[in-house]
Amino acid sequence: MLSSLFPLIYGLVFIVLLWQAFQVMGRGFSAAGRPFGTPDPGKDRTGKVTIHPELLDGDGRLTEEDLLTVRFSGDEESGESSARSGE
C-alpha cells in the first residue's frame, strides 16, 4: 500500500515545489524590470522613509557628524587624483 502511495506523494510534493520556484522567479523577473531602489508600489508597508540606525544619535535624531567614506581605485575620480595614481 505504502509503495503505491509513495510515487503519488513524491509527484505532488514535486509539483508544489516547482510551482513555488516559478512564483519566486516571477517576482525576480518583475523586480528586474524596475530601476534599483524603486519600491514596489503595492508592497510598501509603512510609506515612511527608513533611516539606518547608525545615523541616529542617542536621542534618536540624525547625527551632525561627518561620515567616513572610502574610495577605491577605479571609482569615478577627478582627473587630478587619477593623474597622481598613474605616477
Task: For residue 57, give every residue at least 6 positions away whose Cβ sits within 8 Å of its Cβ, in sequence order, or none.
Answer: 63
pLDDT in single tens digits along all 87 residues of the chain: 778 899 999 999 999 999 999 999 888 777 666 666 665 665 556 666 777 888 888 888 888 888 787 878 776 655 554 445 444
Kindly state the cell numbers that stand for 63: 547625527
* Structural domain boundaries in the chain: 2-85
Q: Per DSSP, what are the bridge partners of residue 62?
A: 56
pLDDT of residue 20: 96
pLDDT of residue 37: 60
* Confidence (pTM): 0.38
pLDDT of residue 18: 97
How far, CA to CA in Å, does 56 sit from each of 4, 67, 82? 62, 12, 35
Rounded to an integer, what is the distance from CA 26 to the centroid of its chain?
Answer: 16
Helices (H), ranges, the chain? 2-32, 79-85
